[in-house]
Amino acid sequence: MNRQFPQAVPEIPVANVEKAAEYYEKVLGFRFDWGDDNGGIGGISQGDCRIFLTNASFRESYGTAGPATIWLNLSSRGEVDELHRRWRDAGAKILAAPEDKPWRLREFRIADPDGNQLRVFYDFSRDGQDGSLKAK
């Protein structure tokens, strides 16, 4: 049976849903779509990217923990660099600046106030832009 999966929606553990959503809105440019800390879950989005934020009481009821690492796959090296500049200028906690990695990804990493990481990347091995990193 051949099935197409929909886009995955990661769940990120946070101390407080509304405070985390405020950071994702003001610093990273996401939109807070719904939810609150009393309910234990909230949804944020930016374009086609959707993420759920959950507090400890919500996670305990489902037996989940954290922190989490979320990978965001962009369409070009330029998009990776531009998003890095935008987030850096907005005050995001940058853990690693954009760099071409030996595994043929251009990537950078940030952390949110709860220790979750967003790893932003572009896979340049698919478009012939891998230069000296081409497989022999």
Q: Are residues 55 and 102 in the same domain?
A: no
Q: Are residues 48 and 105 in the same domain?
A: no
Please, which residues bridge with residue 26 across strands? Answer: none
Q: Which residues of 25-44 are buried (b: 16+ CB within 10 A; e: fewer)?
A: eebbebebeebebeebbbbb
Does residue 1 fall inside a structural domain?
no
Q: Using the predicted structure, report yes or no on whether residue 131 has a pLDDT greater than 50.
A: no
What CATH number is attached to the domain comprising 36?
Answer: 3.10.180.10
Q: Are residues 59 and 85 in the same domain?
A: no
Cα dihedral 78, 79, 84, 89, rounded to 10, equals 100
Q: What is the pLDDT of residue 66?
A: 82
Distance (Å, rounded) from C-alpha 104 to C-alpha 1? Answer: 32
Reported as a single tens digit per residue, the pLDDT across 50-108 is 999 999 999 998 888 889 999 999 999 999 999 999 999 999 999 999 999 999 999 99
Is residue 17 within 8 Å of 37, Cβ to Cβ?
A: yes
The mean pLDDT value for 120-133 works out to 71
Is residue 116 within 8 Å of 67, Cβ to Cβ?
A: yes
The total number of structural domains that make up the chain: 2
Domain hosting 49: range is 8-66
Distance (Å, rounded) from C-alpha 87 to C-alpha 109? Answer: 11
Reported as a single tens digit per residue, the pLDDT across 3-49 is 676 788 999 999 999 999 999 999 999 999 999 999 999 999 999 99
Non-local CB neighbours of 20 within 8 Å, separated by 6+ positions: 12, 14, 42, 53, 112, 113, 114
Q: Are residues 73 and 119 in the same domain?
A: yes
Does residue 2 fall inside a structural domain?
no
Does residue 136 fall inside a structural domain?
yes
Does residue 3 fall inside a structural domain?
no
